[in-house]
Every structure is written in C-alpha cells, then in structure tokens.
Amino acid sequence: MLLVPGGTFMMGEAGVHTEPVPEHSATVSTFLLDETEVTVGQFRTFVNSYTNAGLAAGEGAHPLIPGTGWDTAWNAALPVDAAALQAGLNAYSPTWTNTVGANENKPIGNVTWYESFLYCHSVGKRLPTEAEWEYAAAGGAEDRTYPWGEAAPTCTLSQTMECAGGFLDVGSKTGDGRWGHKDLGGNMWEMVFDYYAAYDGTACIDCANTTVSTGRVYHGGSAYNQNFTQAVATRGSVDAGSRNFHMTFRCAKTP
C-alpha cells in the first residue's frame, strides 16, 4: 500500500462529462491505498479459504464514516461455498483460472461488489470511498484530469480499447498517479464503497454516500473502453451483485 496524504480537492468535473457534475469541495483524511488493482493471485488466497459466513453488522467500516460497514442482509447475496464462487468467477471472467496459471499478476475480474468488500476485510483493509479514490487519482489539490496529469491518454500511459493486448499485468503502463499508484486509469474499472447518486454540490469532509440506491460507483476506465473514460471524474454505476468481466477493485486502509 502507498500513503496518500490527506487534503482538499475539487471532486467531480464541470462541463466535460455529464455524470460527475457539479464540482464540489471534498476533504479526505490521510489513508493508505493499494498500489495496484487486486490481482488474480491475491484473490486466489481469498477463494481458497472462502466460506459464506459473511460478516457481523458494521464490520469493515471506514473508521471515520458511520454507516459504511457490512449489512447482514448482504449475506444472502454471497456464493454458498468456494465452488460456487469459482463458478461465478468462471462465468466469462477474462483473467481467473481455477488453478495457478499465466494470469496471476493480472487484475481479478468478474467479482461482485460484495466479494470485493469481503476480500478487503479479509486482508485487514476496506474498500476506498469514492472521494478517497478520486482524490488519489486526481493527485489531491493538483486536480489532474487524468491520474498522470493533463496529457491525453496513450498506449504508453494506460491500457484502453485503443491498445493491443486486452487486460495486462498490473503496473504494465507508465501513467502512475501522484503518489505512485498504478492503473488508476485503464486496465479495469474499479469499484468503490459508495452508493451511486448524482452529486448535490455540497462540500464534504470524510464523506461517502451511504444512502441506498440501485448501484455502486466505479471509476477508472478499462481495456475495453475508449480512452476518455479514464478521466478521473468519469464514473458509473454497477449493481452490487452483478459480475462484469472488466470490473475490479483495490483496497484502502486508515493508518
């Protein structure tokens, strides 16, 4: 994990993409964020020890934000056992293999949001909030358009549908964020904690959207999307129980 010093930035974007507007001030406390997207090899350890016991109410919460812990109602959405989890991952997963193979350093795809939450908790971490993820990708107060700066995406900087090769080993491209994080733009979309909703323009401090809606937020673009989707503020919504071949995550922690 790499340290992200806390601070304030302008979250969202004005006038380029319709979904993230309006811009608003957001402040985050210092946190740690995985250097890369979670890999197949890392997730394999979780699969091998998986049970569907779920978590107790409130486990896995951001320590500074009430309402971000596990809801026991989510236990019903979990695979019944490790075999069922593997079957889910095999349903059009481009990177998962049931045995160790050539993809161990590629990002894990086709996971549900619930499974990403459980994985992070299993390694003593949590999902980042949307504000944390976007702050790290924007370089904090530098308010970068892309994680690496203002330059338009290229196949040297990030992996998109304009580039050959599909999903690559994590860290294969040079477009690192301000604090050294890799693939914040491209390779796979990344799910975060927050429920999806339009921004209301209100300034916030250590905030996350905990109001239940139909989806969870994702950011970052993928190898199967156009390069403009890697803009820091570009976001979308995914159903927490769905599996998407180009959807992954990385974990955070409050030091």
Q: Looking at the 3D structure of the chain, how many domains does it have?
A: 1
The tens digit of pLDDT for each residue in 176-191 reads: 999 999 999 999 999 9
What is the residue range of 150's domain? 1-255
CA 67-71-72 angle, 5° bins: 155
Structure token pair of residue 116: 């990403």
CA distance 119 to 152: 33
Nearest alpha carbon to residue 169 among 108, 244, 228: 108
Going by pLDDT thresholds of 50, 70 and 90, the confidence category of residue 109 is very high
- If you average pLDDT over residues 123-128, what whole number do you get? 98
Q: What is the pLDDT of residue 15?
A: 58
Return the pLDDT at 17: 62
Strands of the 216-219 sheet, one edge to the other: 235-238, 216-219, 189-195, 247-248
Whether 18 has a pLDDT exceeding 70, the answer reads no
Return the CATH number at 170. Answer: 3.90.1580.10
Least confident segment among 45-49, 64-68, 93-97: 93-97
* Helix (H) / strand (E) containing 147: none
Tell me the per-residue pLDDT of 28-54, one tens digit each, with 9 for 90 and over. Answer: 999 999 999 999 999 999 999 999 999
pLDDT, tens digit, 9 for 90 and up, residues 227-245: 888 999 999 999 999 999 9
Output the pLDDT for position 93.
72
